[in-house]
Amino acid sequence: MGFLKKKFRSVKKLPTWIYWLPARFMQLYVRLFFRVRIVDPNDHIGQARGAVSVTWHNRLMFFAVLFPAKARKRTVAVVSASRDGQYIADFISILGLKSLRGSSSKKGANAYRAGIKAIREGYNVSFTPDGPRGPRYVMKSGPVALASVTGTGIIPIAVNASRCWSVKSWDRFQIPKPFSTLTLVLGDMIPIPENLDEAGIETYRKKVEDILNEISVDPPEHS
């Protein structure tokens, strides 16, 4: 058993077709077992182009499938350059999302340059700004730096489950319970001034972090 586990962990990339059935199952599962609410007063889903978005790492379970296909096709997700990140990138590709490989701790410069190019081509670039290692609900500065250099704004996005299980991980990753309500919240776009210096980036980093925490609601414990 240990040999098989070691062998699997040595595989850096699986054939992309393997993810087709799990992706379709996830879409069907959400449709059948959850009530979905979308709060998007500014119609970011229908209209946003060339923006940066941020969502906390522990709310990614059903994040992609809550958006319509058209929105997914114009979104690029920043995904860790690790082996696990490769699995995620391949999985979300089945759902129509592109990915940039990198993070704050590995190949970040590559992702930053690719993010500039993606935004200038009209794609929305999606970050999990407390990943890949936390601390939970503390935002890194990358999204603000990218928005500032490209002259765009940041859209805070939350997925709030009315009931969920929490994994014992650094981010307390949330697994929504069947028959609960999933609320996708897209907040007001936060304009980011161009060419911010380090102090300015920190000011807006904290501002975006606070707003994202305001719209990200944790369910009561033992719910």
The per-residue pLDDT for 5 is 47
Between CA 205 and CA 200 the distance in angstroms is: 8
Using alpha carbons, list the distances in angstroms from residue 19 to 10, 76, 166: 18, 18, 24
> In the chain, which stretches have pLDDT less than 50?
4-5, 7-8, 105-107
The per-residue pLDDT for 68 is 95
The per-residue pLDDT for 112 is 85
Per domain, the residue ranges of the chain are 34-215
The per-residue pLDDT for 106 is 42
The per-residue pLDDT for 223 is 57
